Amino acid sequence: STTSSGATAMSAYVEIVFDNSGGRFPVDHEEVVLRRTIGLKKDEYFMNRKRIRKSDVVNLLESAGFSRSNPYYIVQQGKVAALCTMKDRERLQLLKEVAGTTVYDERREESLQILRDSTSKREKIEEVISYIEQRLEELNSEKEELAECQALDKKRRAFEYCLYNSELKDAR
């Protein structure tokens, strides 16, 4: 793009100021200022002059009820008539989408899936720990048997030495 003087612009920005006196955004500020700076090499996002990630902007907007998946900010022609003829279940689903609760339902389902995966992994880890503990008991038992065998072998060799010594004396 070019500036009014004809020079090439190196960057541009867009800034939106939201009134947060009603607490719609989960931050402790009366105003929320979101800014996107677009440069030649990278885009940057800011909230109240603090640099944040794009995903933080998306999450902040979704928590305030603005969702990409919510196409109902502008009522298109024919939508009012369609709303009137919808079944109760469809109307409830539409209201959930408009209210932004479907985003939370999706996140809840994702969280539940993570919880199920974590529980499954924990159970597998517990099985491995149980196997290791059982194997450790077996190895400790084998270690005790080995120590006992080594002690008996030492005694046997001592007796054999004494017997050999005695036979050697008798042979002389």
Kindly give the confidence (pLDDT) of every residue in the chain, 172 residues in length, as a single tens digit, with 9 standing for 90 and above: 556 666 677 889 999 999 999 888 889 999 999 999 998 888 999 999 999 999 999 888 888 877 666 655 555 667 777 878 889 998 888 777 777 677 788 889 999 999 999 999 999 999 999 999 999 999 999 999 999 999 999 999 999 999 999 988 888 7
Q: Estimate the share of the chain in helix, then strand, then coil, as percent rounded to the nearest 5.
A: 60, 15, 25
Q: pTM higher than 0.75, yes or no?
A: no
CA dist., res. 39 & res. 55, Å (int): 18
Give the pLDDT score at 78: 73
Residue 32's φ and ψ, nearest 5 degrees, are -120, 120
For residue 3, the model assigns a pLDDT of: 62
The pLDDT value recorded for residue 143 is 97
The answer to whether 21 and 8 have CB atoms below 8 angstroms apart is: no
